[in-house]
A and B are shown apart, each in its own frame.
Chain A
């Protein structure tokens, strides 16, 4: 197992370096200069040169990358052009808010997704299967930013039950686990949970169908095991894959929360990205994307390792 983990680490390192190169180059595919966005249009050439040298933009690209990479692995993601604060601290605060929202959404999605998936897989081709499959198609096809708006229209504008935006009564502050803050997380979390619900229910339906068709299930039934006993076997067999899908979905939500966070003004990474894009704050954009992508790479690695540990059928080659 230890050797397997080491092998995965060796495999993941070049991917992680590649990701960092893509994030680094993001700033350089922009038209013009990263600085042109913040310099006043009447800045003298001399001032422009000074600023360029101060930010290191006058050096060749590979040198810039090496310097940037060295700083990044020491936890320095640069300084935000808009606020002048270190990017690392801005991202850190936002990541925790996004993490809370994504985890809640993944758990909701996993609970309902496995439920629908099991029902559909057990009663293949019945009306229950068609209903559950229909719900999962809805889940993967709905534009989630629109669903968020519709939920706000119904539960905030019309019924007035839940607050439409923000993470708490103090507006865009951090989220805390108490009753008042709980009301604020319900709508964005439900909106976000729809995608993992659809994906997980599709996967679990296929898994359960495959498992029930295998000979060992027939053997279990033939030797007289009750439906509950068979069900336990199905769960044990489906669990590793279902959990792996859940882990990956959490990663997608962490990185893909920007649209939902914009709809609900949730003070997370998506909100930060939105601000970074429209203030042309490229260091902030770069830093946020790097952190989110690295999260995703790490999560993939963890999912791989956990799935291999749980599932003895996977070769640890």
Chain B
């Protein structure tokens, strides 16, 4: 029976041998929802990077006589804001800060959190207990509260907002990293590597990293959406970027006074946050099923 299956399986293995990541890429490219989401994210990122070439106007130059123009106005495709600045331009430029403030904390927390978590999971013992109990303390704060408490105490500013959000996400990523590493550590092949004389760094590099980084990465991508909402939320409260900088959360806040005059224009910056955040979420969901990570 065993021999028979091996015989049949042979041609199949040749096809699969293109590697795990090729398979993931192929599965992902067949997921229409995830691909659409990825295209939207790519579009917004590219528009933000090439903002000076794409945007039709100057994001800072206003006009006192052309304030709060409606959408589809002759001069302004998406209307103008409370200081007469072109909305489309500011939405394109706004992506720069919003994506930066939402993405960087997750990237930083991914590096720090997975290092700490893999260390704690691999070493085990009292070091694990010490690290994980400290993480528990930060876990005991609802994430919105911790983010606002930290940036409130540190004071307003882009850098402080990024620091606060990084601190919020480190415990969450550490927990996931520790959990998957603890599982891998007890596997037979890790034990076999240890018995055959491999040092701890070699084992982590060869056997642990390859197996744990995938699940941690998927988890981190699912945090980007939350991070975008929180980062813009901090700016919305006045704790992130400062006027006249174009940033979606801040724009949403300054346009709150205009909801009776130009409701559609006032809602635009929030719609950008929403579109970006839902695209990241859908892409992350697609990545999770493509990588076959169980949650």
A, B bound: yes
Interface residues of chain A, those whose CB is within 8 Å of chain B, are 14-16, 18-19, 21-23, 26-27, 29-31, 137-138, 140-147, 149-150, 152-153, 157-158, 251-252, 254-256, 258-259, 262-263, 273-274, 276-278, 282, 285, 289, 292-293, 296-297, 300
Evaluate contact between A15 and B267: CB separation under 8 angstroms.
Answer: no
Whether A259 pairs with B153 at a CB distance below 8 angstroms is no
The answer to whether A259 touches B233, judged by C-beta atoms less than 8 angstroms apart, is yes
Whether A18 and B237, one on each chain, are in contact in the complex, defined by CB atoms closer than 8 angstroms, is no
Report A-chain residues with C-beta under 8 Å of the C-beta of B252: 145-146, 149
Contact B149 A289 (CB under 8 A): yes
A30-B154, A254-B142, A256-B145 known; A157-B263 Cβ under 8 A: yes
Contact present for A158 and B263 (CB under 8 Å): yes
Cα of A224 to Cα of B202 in the assembled complex, Å: 58
Closest chain A residue to B264, Cβ basis: A153
State the 5 A-B residue pairs at the shortest beta-carbon distance, nearest first: A146-B270, A255-B142, A18-B137, A256-B144, A255-B145
Hey, which chain B residues are within 8 Å of A256, CB to CB? 142-145
Across the interface, do B273 and A27 meet the contact criterion of CB distance under 8 Å? no
Min Cβ gap B32→A in Å is 12
B266 and A19: CB pair below 8 A?
Answer: no
| A293: B residues at CB distance < 8 A | 140-142, 145
Chain B interface mostly: helix
**Interface size of B in residues (CB-CB distance below 8 Å):** 43
A149 touches B270 (CB 8 A): yes
- 15 sample A-B contacts, Cβ–Cβ < 8 Å, listed by A number: A15-B140, A26-B153, A30-B155, A31-B154, A143-B233, A145-B233, A150-B270, A256-B142, A256-B143, A256-B145, A258-B148, A258-B237, A259-B237, A277-B148, A293-B145
Residues in A with CB closer than 8 Å to B133 are: 14-15, 18
B149 contact set on A, CB distance < 8 A? 23, 26, 273, 285, 289
Segment 96-149 of B: residues with Cβ below 8 Å from A: 133-134, 136-138, 140-145, 148-149
Asked if A282 and B153 sit within 8 Å, CB to CB, the answer is yes
Q: Which residues on B sit within 8 Å (CB–CB) of A137?
A: 278, 281-282, 285
Cβ contacts under 8 Å, A292 to chain B:
142, 145
Chain A, Cβ-Cβ closest to B239: A277
- The answer to whether A143 and B229 have CB atoms under 8 Å apart is yes
A285 contacts which chain B residues (CB < 8 A)? Answer: 149, 152-153
- Rounded to whole angstroms, the CA-CA distance of A259 and B133 in the bound complex is 30
Contacting pair B153 A30 (CB below 8 A)? yes
Q: Is the CB of A146 within 8 A of B273?
A: yes
- Distance (whole angstroms) from the CB of A106 to the closest CB of chain B: 13
Contact B141 A150 (CB under 8 A): no
A275 to B173, CA, bound (A): 32
Taking a contact as CB atoms closer than 8 A, the residue among B140, B150, B154, B277 that contacts A18 in the complex is B140
Pick the contact of B145 from A21, A157, A289 — CB < 8 Å?
A: A289
B260 touches A (CB below 8 Å): yes
